[in-house]
Structure 1
């Protein structure tokens, strides 16, 4: 029985090159394949013919997504139709992030137009937080809430055996004959993760068109123990962290090196250094096994110290991403991130001292934030001077505390459009302390200043140095093309 898992398009309409593969649905496909199903992943975001664009260009092209949704003859939709029709799936699973609701519903419609008997299943963060947003469509049959591996496997086995009564399956929502929606009891988190096989990239359609680095994304853990007000991670992970065995992590790295020549790894854990001793052990194993890789990770400012930085660098770490969000003390308290600005200053000093390239992630437009507080973030960014600075515009993701905070506000009702759930949407304005027109002006100023910071010769040279091009000269030529494309207005 054929099962196709789809990552719907969004940024591809905008023209942004996709540098990743969908880890979650590839993990599910791997599990299904291990149980005898013919399961593949179709990443409709991926198109290596696209260029690298900076955030100012991104904002200027954002409405291309809305126009693409309305154009039934758009080449992307025609490609999706062709892929589904050729594969002839019995089940299609669609990964649904909040910003991709409309695209996901369009994919489900395409499925049913091809064959009304295809069972269309939606899953992911938005589907878990608001299953009714998907089930209101006649083209979505079932929503998987929470982690998908075990639930989708159980659904697939039922369909294979001709059983279409799903009420005994935990962790799903579905429509009844009268149109009402039923929710089965929650399914517990998968624990331990030992028996979940790492994602087999060969199950991705056209995987040979991905670069080694695009396939080199790894999650060594699931979940985050923190409770940031803007984040909906707990919708699925429940603020619990579960770790994969380190031996399994080394096996996945060796698989990537051997099969795809991936020598740079992006660890995609929510807070990579949350378990300090585990990270130190992993670093020792990377050195002992002579993996020879370089790698990057994401963590928090209060989870960096000298010993961690030294160990990570010796083990091949060349970049650390740190979420900062705001340079204003009131906003830091409001977002409940649990860090102090002094933590950021200290982690910045440590990473610079040990020669590790670091990126600072910032956000603007929080509920009640003022223009002056936004500009404090710009001032703080320049003070800590990250090697690269990334700016997001706040959006209230369903399942987050801020979503509950603004859901009843007039501003939210004015903007409650499924196309704006993006932290790069120029349409977002959820602060009652700044007018929409003034906010747009500040957005333009902020992105211009952040791009100016990233375009400085010092930032570009530091980024180049961190890549260790002497070990991979071919990568230098590729990245030089990236930079030229990114700098193009």
Structure 2
């Protein structure tokens, strides 16, 4: 069976981006293991317009029996359009959607040509779908999916999350990896870089966040991670890794084991991770630095304790500030995400965030909150009537979160935008501390400053 995996743009409003679709690499590896022919059509990377995409599907009419579409919920409109184009030229093909776009799964099934929605991880599901097509089995027997049945939406039985150690390395050979490794994900480094994971899952319940991999933490074997690091260094000359674990430092023993193995194997690579400040330990941070960690990002979200509690962050301002201090003492550059405009946000709480940023000199571009389907915040907004028609609302989620999509505060729209933009402007004030933190690496410093300047110009241009 021939399968086409499609990586759509983030949305019809944001068509570009060169980030390696790691999840698609895992799906591709599982399909190859199941003896399928697999091609990847990366619309997002190549900036293909709709005319090109439609022409590609027409030229390849009848070639593929299974199409996989993966993406964020911001690609909802694009997913609807591309599924219609697929069926136009391949009416007998099966279309399955995966990724966080599936938080709007019922809407997609009712309003698009997509046949199957994957709930959660797709590595096992995609193989089950292939087997069902090959042997003419009913899709209803496949766990963890949504399907259309007699005009209704049917949820099949749930199964426990997969053993992530059973999943092979991503099928890098399906991609022109040079186009991805030479495009830094977050950290502006002068060396080929790649994304990787060491675990899946997050046990916390922040109100604005959707947990695609569930709450149960599952770790990869350290030996497997080390082998993957060595492989990408040998194959692609990788010098930097962005670990995309939701909370890299949640299990200190796991972190220590990985770092000790990197040091023991004398692996020369820098890396970045995302952590929670309440799992920070001075000795572990120092070990991480010795193993190559140069950047660490924390989901800080607010400098107001009131707002942290409102978000169900389960963190204290004092602990966050201490963790930032310890991380910097270990030699790391600290970044943080911030959200401005959650329910009950006021000008006073925004000022608390401003004061926090000034005290701690965190490099950030604050975002507005977006109640995405599948989050506590979305359910709250539905209950209060803030979100009305689901389809209309989800179809509106194409903007970048630096733009105001929905105002959840009592602050007027124009004033809230002004406050958020003024926080972004203060980003410039932290460049001197960035210079100090990076004084030993002039190449990284140059790239960071260029990116900061570029982003500031972009923000300014949007307002003029």
TM-score, normalized by length of structure 2? 0.89
Determine which of 155, 164, 167 is the counterpart of 1:183. Answer: 155
Work out the CA distance in 2 between the residues paired with 1:257 and 1:368.
48
State the match for 1:445 in structure 2. 422
Work out the CA distance in 1 between the residues paired with 2:111 and 2:415.
37
Determine which of 118, 121, 130 is the counterpart of 1:147. Answer: 121
State the match for 1:210 in structure 2. 180
Post-superposition shift, 1:322?
Answer: 0.5
TM-score, normalized by length of structure 1? 0.84
Post-superposition shift, 1:29?
Answer: 0.9
Secondary structure, counterpart of 1:367 in structure 2: coil
Work out the CA distance in 1 between the residues paired with 2:104 and 2:450.
41
Deviation string, structure 1 residues 172-218 (Cα, Å, up to 9, x no partner) = 11112x32221111122003x221112122222x3332235556100
State the match for 1:6 in structure 2. 6
The unaligned stretches of length 5 or more in structure 1 are 51-74
State the match for 1:376 in structure 2. 352
- Taking a change above 3 Å as real, the CA distance of residues 76 and 269 of structure 1, as seen in their structure-2 partners, is same
Q: Which moved more, 1:337-346 or 1:84-93?
A: 84-93
State the match for 2:26 in structure 1. 27
Determine which of 416, 420, 434 is the counterpart of 2:393. Answer: 416
Deviation string, structure 1 residues 250-283 (Cα, Å, up to 9, x no partner) = 1111111111111100111010010101101111
Matches within 5 A, 1:74-473: 76-85=49-58, 88-127=63-102, 129-161=103-135, 163=136, 165-176=138-149, 178-191=150-163, 193-204=164-175, 206-212=176-182, 213=184, 216-233=194-211, 236-386=212-362, 388-413=363-388, 416-420=393-397, 424-450=401-427, 452-453=428-429, 456-459=431-434, 461-462=435-436, 465=439, 468=441
Q: How many residues align?
A: 446
Q: Tell me if the contact between 2:425 and 2:456 (Cα under 8 Å) persists in the aligned partners.
A: no
Work out the CA distance in 2 between the residues paired with 1:350 and 1:101.
41
- Taking a change above 3 Å as real, the CA distance of residues 168 and 396 of structure 1, as seen in their structure-2 partners, is same
Post-superposition shift, 1:164?
Answer: 5.8
State the match for 2:190 in structure 1. none
Q: Which moved more, 1:81-90 or 1:93-102?
A: 81-90
Secondary structure, counterpart of 1:272 in structure 2: coil
- Taking a change above 3 Å as real, the CA distance of residues 483 and 273 of structure 1, as seen in their structure-2 partners, is same
Secondary structure, counterpart of 1:255 in structure 2: helix
Deviation string, structure 1 residues 281-317 (Cα, Å, up to 9, x no partner) = 1111001111100000000111112101110010011
Post-superposition shift, 1:16?
Answer: 5.7
Work out the CA distance in 1 between the residues paired with 2:301 and 2:92.
46
Work out the CA distance in 1 between the residues paired with 2:344 and 2:399.
19
Work out the CA distance in 1 between the residues paired with 2:226 and 2:365.
30
Work out the CA distance in 2 between the residues paired with 1:10 and 1:366.
23
Q: Tell me if the contact between 1:174 and 1:181 (Cα under 8 Å) persists in the aligned partners.
A: yes
Work out the CA distance in 2 between the residues paired with 1:225 and 1:231.
12
The unaligned stretches of length 5 or more in structure 2 are 186-192, 459-464
Q: Tell me if the contact between 2:11 and 2:74 (Cα under 8 Å) persists in the aligned partners.
A: no
Work out the CA distance in 2 between the residues paired with 1:26 and 1:290.
27
Work out the CA distance in 2 between the residues paired with 1:463 and 1:6.
40
Work out the CA distance in 1 between the residues paired with 2:408 and 2:453.
36
Work out the CA distance in 2 between the residues paired with 1:11 and 1:447.
24
- Taking a change above 3 Å as real, the CA distance of residues 82 and 209 of structure 1, as seen in their structure-2 partners, is farther
- Taking a change above 3 Å as real, the CA distance of residues 302 and 229 of structure 1, as seen in their structure-2 partners, is same
Deviation string, structure 1 residues 413-454 (Cα, Å, up to 9, x no partner) = 39824232666152323424222233233233233333x245
Q: Tell me if the contact between 2:294 and 2:333 (Cα under 8 Å) persists in the aligned partners.
A: yes
- Taking a change above 3 Å as real, the CA distance of residues 482 and 329 of structure 1, as seen in their structure-2 partners, is closer
- Taking a change above 3 Å as real, the CA distance of residues 12 and 107 of structure 1, as seen in their structure-2 partners, is closer
Matches within 5 A, 1:3-82: 3-10=3-10, 13-14=13-14, 17-18=17-18, 20-47=19-46, 76-82=49-55
Post-superposition shift, 1:137?
Answer: 2.5
Post-superposition shift, 1:336?
Answer: 0.9
Work out the CA distance in 1 between the residues paired with 2:277 and 2:114.
41
> Over the residues paired in the alignment, what is the CA RMSD in angstroms?
2.5
